[in-house]
Chain A
Amino acid sequence: MDRFRHPLLGGNTLWVLGLDVLLVIIFQLASANGAFLNPINVQAILTTYSQVMMLVIAQTMLLGAAQIDLSQGATAVLASVVAGTVLVSMSAGGDPGPHITLPVLFLVTIVVGLLAGVINGVLVGWLRINSLVATLGTLGIYLGTAQVITNGENLYGVPLSIQSAFGSVYLWRVPLSTLLAAVVVAVVWIQFRRGSFGTHTIAIGSSEKAAIRNGIDTRWHMVKLYSVAGALCGIAGAFDLARFTTTDIGGHGNDALAAISGAVIGGTSLFGGKVYFFGALLGALLALILQSGLVILRFPPFYQVIAIGFILILAVAIDSFRNRNEMR
């Protein structure tokens, strides 16, 4: 890997890291009794972050191929609704225990996410529908399907063992879901960096025509890419269900946009070819730090959205400024 695409420090990674640290320091100093870095608050941020990590690395890979997925939140909701329904029906005679509920939870969410991704991939890769439009369409279809399944209500009666054995479990005071998310990120990142999957993704993002002329089957690659991205959304759905033991059908409307913002703040280009996983992860963390910090400082939560808007525009401005310099 070359120094221009440094795996850890490329893109905006360093300055976003600096901004993350700065905000943590500010919120810690400004909050009463150092409430920001209180273990309970940090654990809450990390638990939410485990879902965000899945969505943001999925979105980052897609952006690498100049694709986008607006259906991420809907995919996660659909995955959790289907898994929740299966788990509810399995536990009619009582909770079957985590050795059954946890494998079922992850298997069902991953399969549903994967299938949602396959549909997105076929629409974009085979039918050549612009990804913004295709995934805006499937966003409605997946969310609507989830609502049809539950009649628009959130699911209750999901076996509590998924929470007691996973969703509320901490290892060395770190949420288990965050640790699992970190492992998934590591695996995806290494495969992307070391395998031909990443090279072909970046080639498609740089120039789809060039990729085709060099013998890459871009249609098949799109299906693979969206399937992996969909499966990651499915895992986010599993984390959500295990955390609350209920679905959150209305609570994922901003997920895809938050993931895109995080990726772009971290230096990943909207125009394809530039992929910075760690910048994206830190960019997405920025939103969570702001959200939590502003709540603790008793600001209305809307200020977080405004702040993220400013940072997003700043990041894109820096990116296009850099691009202009490179073109010379």
Chain B
Amino acid sequence: MSHADPVLEIRNVAKQYGQITALTGVNIQMFAGEIVALLGDNGAGKSTLMNIMCGALPPSSGEVLVRGEPITSLHHAQEMGIGMVYQDLALAHHLTVAENMFLGRELRSSGLAGTLGWLDSARMDRKATEEIAHLGISTLRDVRMPVRLLSGGQRQVAAIARALMWSKAALLLDEPTAALGPKQVALVLETIKTIAAKGMAVCLIAHDIPSVLAIADRLIILRRGRIVRTLPAAGQTVTSVVSMMVGENDDAAAA
């Protein structure tokens, strides 16, 4: 497989909910090391598209391919290396960072303790610490902290670290900077950049356009379930992006 082959490819995807068409004719190719941002007004189909990309929602037609192989389910997509960070983060607040990172995939002890179903917390703590250190994150020093005691930014980073631990091809993020303070936003953006720099394909949804412009390589603009523009982020401004999202330029062209 050559370097230029896409990591994640969406081929002619459409999604209908009964009479309502949420997506139609969507084609996207995502490459290693690239940060792609999905932009669009509410109801444009961003979340539907992301749920299809991670395998949580089957498309009505078309397919999603990971390194050329079509995905069949959320579980299959995870196995193929697609990680998803939900807007609500899906963290258990009363468990520690390490316990969350291994939730549902705990490591058992060896020997008799393992036979009894006991877990190897020390090994999970160590691996979680390594994973976070590998991301270059210094804000999460103690993986034995319960998530409920973390800040919003730290929680976001913990959720990202968990997704990365189990997926090595592409990372999908739904509103990673929503409801965060400026300092926390910077922390999360820095983490996302580090991930892409390590060769992962990253796709994110965000309403916070300045943040998107700060890190994205490519913008994909959706309107009423269709891709209306795909363009490099470089050189774009908040005003130009917003006008493409709401479709002002088209109206001007038509007039």
Q: Which residues of A contact B (CB under 8 A)?
A: 1-5, 191, 194-197, 199-200, 202-203, 205-207, 209-211, 213-216, 272-274, 326
11 A-B pairs with C-beta separation under 8 A: A3-B144, A194-B119, A195-B118, A196-B106, A199-B99, A210-B90, A210-B92, A214-B90, A215-B75, A215-B105, A273-B93
Interface of chain B, helix or strand or loop or mixed? loop
Q: How far is the CA of A326 from the CA of B93 in the complex (A)?
A: 12
The segment out of B41-49, B145-153, B187-195, B197-205 that lies at the interface is: B145-153
CB A62 to nearest CB in B, in angstroms, measures 15
Interface size band for B = 20 to 34
Q: Which residues of B contact A (CB under 8 A)?
A: 75, 86, 88-96, 99, 103-106, 113, 116-119, 121, 144-146, 148-149
> Is B116 touching A199 in the complex (CB atoms < 8 A)?
no
> Is B88 touching A214 in the complex (CB atoms < 8 A)?
no
Q: How far is the CA of A45 from the CA of B49 in the complex (A)?
A: 63
> Is A4 touching B92 in the complex (CB atoms < 8 A)?
no
> Is B92 touching A195 in the complex (CB atoms < 8 A)?
no
14 additional contacts (CB under 8 A) given A2-B146, A4-B149, A203-B95: A191-B116, A191-B117, A194-B117, A194-B118, A195-B118, A195-B119, A206-B95, A207-B92, A209-B90, A210-B91, A210-B92, A214-B103, A214-B105, A216-B103
> Is A199 touching B119 in the complex (CB atoms < 8 A)?
yes
A1 contacts across to B, CB distance below 8 A:
121
> Is B92 touching A273 in the complex (CB atoms < 8 A)?
yes
* Option from B86, B117, B121 in Cβ contact (under 8 Å) with A197: B117
When A4-B149, A213-B86 are in contact, do A196 and B117 touch as well, CB less than 8 Å?
A: yes
CB B51 to nearest CB in A, in angstroms, measures 12
> Is A207 touching B90 in the complex (CB atoms < 8 A)?
yes
* Option from B75, B93, B106 in Cβ contact (under 8 Å) with A199: B106
CB B37 to nearest CB in A, in angstroms, measures 23
Return the chain B residue nearest A198 by Cβ: B119
> Is B145 touching A207 in the complex (CB atoms < 8 A)?
no
Q: How far is the CA of A94 from the CA of B75 in the complex (A)?
A: 61
A195 contacts across to B, CB distance below 8 A:
116-119
Q: How far is the CA of A197 from the CA of B117 in the complex (A)?
A: 9
> Is A213 touching B90 in the complex (CB atoms < 8 A)?
yes
B88 contacts across to A, CB distance below 8 A:
209-210
Closest 9 CB pairs of A and B: A273-B94, A206-B92, A215-B104, A203-B92, A214-B104, A194-B118, A210-B90, A195-B117, A213-B90
A199 contacts across to B, CB distance below 8 A:
95, 99, 103, 106, 119
Return the chain A residue nearest B142 by Cβ: A2
A206 contacts across to B, CB distance below 8 A:
91-95
B121 contacts across to A, CB distance below 8 A:
1
> Is B149 touching A203 in the complex (CB atoms < 8 A)?
no
Return the chain B residue nearest A275 by Cβ: B94
B117 contacts across to A, CB distance below 8 A:
191, 194-197
Q: How far is the CA of A282 from the CA of B92 in the complex (A)?
A: 27
When A211-B103, A214-B90, A214-B104 are in contact, do A202 and B95 touch as well, CB less than 8 Å?
A: yes
Q: Which of A203, A209, A215, A273 has the most CB of B within 10 A?
A: A203
CB A212 to nearest CB in B, in angstroms, measures 8
> Is B92 touching A211 in the complex (CB atoms < 8 A)?
yes
Q: How far is the CA of A200 from the CA of B148 in the complex (A)?
A: 16
Q: How far is the CA of A264 from the CA of B75 in the complex (A)?
A: 38
